[in-house]
Amino acid sequence: MTVLLQGVRRAADVVVYSEREDVVALYRQICRENRQFATLNEVRLDDRGEPDPSDLEQAWQDGARVFRLTPRPA
C-alpha cells in the first residue's frame, strides 16, 4: 500500500485486526487517546475516560476492524 506521509508518498505495510479480542483491545486504546474517535464510533467514555466495554463489544459486532499502517523506510 502507498500512503502520503508528511507530503511524501511512501510504501507501507498493513496489518488488519479482525478478531474480537484484538479489535476490542485496540479500540479501547484508541478511544482512550482520541475522544473524537470514540464519539464518531459511538463508544461512550466514563468520567475517567475509560471506554464502555459493551460499546467496544458492539463496535466489533457491528463490523469494526483496526488497520495498522507501518511506513517503510524511505
> With a threshold of 0.95, does the pTM exceed it?
no
Tens of pLDDT, residue by residue over 11-46, are 999 999 999 999 999 999 999 999 999 999 999 999
Burial 57-70 (b: 16+ CB within 10 A, else e): eebbeeebebeeee
